[in-house]
Amino acid sequence: MAQISAAAACLVFAAAGVYVLCRELCCARLPAAFGAAAWTLSEALLSPGAPRGASGAASLLVPFAVAGAFSREKRRRPFLLLAAACLVWRWRSGPSAAGPAALEALVLAVLAAFGAQRLWDGEGGTAFVVGAGAAAIAALCRHEPALGERLLEVLPTTAALVAVALTPRAVRARAGLVALVALFGAVRGVEIARGPRAGGAVMASAAAGAPFPRR
C-alpha cells in the first residue's frame, strides 16, 4: 500500500508540474490541463515497461501535436528538437525497441497542449485534420495488432477529424475543444479499464512490490 501511495503522489506531482509548465508556455487553463492529463495518463507513467498495444488515445494526441508543432509560439522549439531526436532514435532502433518512453510521452503531451491552445484560439484546424488523417493511415498500415483492434484504434481519431473538419471555427474554439478533450478522457479511461496492455495496470510498477497474493 505504501508503494501505491507513493506512486499516486508522484503522478499528482507529475500532473501539477506539466500543468505549470504548459501555463508558463502561454497555454490557457483547459489546454494546460489537457497536456497534464495526456502526460499523467500515458502508458509510460501508468505501466512503465509494459508492451505497447493499440491505443486510440495516443493516436488522438497526434493531430493535437501536429497542430502544436506549427504554432507560432517560439517556446515550442526545444520540444520540437526533442521530438525529432525521439523520432530519429526510434527510426534507427526499430519500432519494437525499448526507448525513452517517458520523454516521448512528455514531448507529445506538451505539443498536444500547444495544439489544443491553437484550437482554443480558433486556429490550427487544417493541421489537426492533416495530423488526424496521417495518424489513422499509419495505424491502419501497421501489421500488428489485428485489423479489428486497429479499426477501434482509429475510430476516435476519425471522429475527431470529422468533427474538426465540419465544425465552424467559432464553435471549435470552445465547445469543440471541450468535446475533443472529453473524447480523449473517455477513450483513455476505457483503455485503462481494459487491462495492463492498454495501460490499465495503474501504477503497475508500484503494485508489483505490494504484498498482494499472487495467482
* Residue 94: band (very low, low, confident or very high) from pLDDT cuts 50, 70, 90: low
Nearest to 33 by CA among 45, 48, 17: 17
Note whether residue 45 is domain-resident: yes
118-159: pLDDT as tens digits: 999 999 999 999 999 999 998 888 877 788 888 888 999 999
Q: What is the pLDDT of residue 96?
A: 57
18-60: pLDDT as tens digits: 999 999 999 999 999 999 999 999 998 888 776 666 688 999 9
Note whether residue 43 is domain-resident: yes
Q: What is the pLDDT of residue 90?
A: 81
Note whether residue 200 is domain-resident: yes
Tally of structural domains, the chain? 1
Note whether residue 213 is domain-resident: no
pTM as predicted: 0.85
Rounded Cα distance between 27 and 128, Å, is: 17
Note whether residue 214 is domain-resident: no
List Cβ<8 Å contacts ≥24 apart for 70-73. Answer: 70/118, 70/124, 70/127, 71/114, 71/115, 71/117, 71/118, 71/124, 73/25, 73/26, 73/114, 73/117
Note whether residue 215 is domain-resident: no
Note whether residue 91 is domain-resident: yes
The better pLDDT of the pair 183, 96 is held by 183
Q: What is the pLDDT of residue 146?
A: 83
* Residue 161: band (very low, low, confident or very high) from pLDDT cuts 50, 70, 90: very high
Average pLDDT, the chain: 85
Print the domain residue range for 58: 2-208
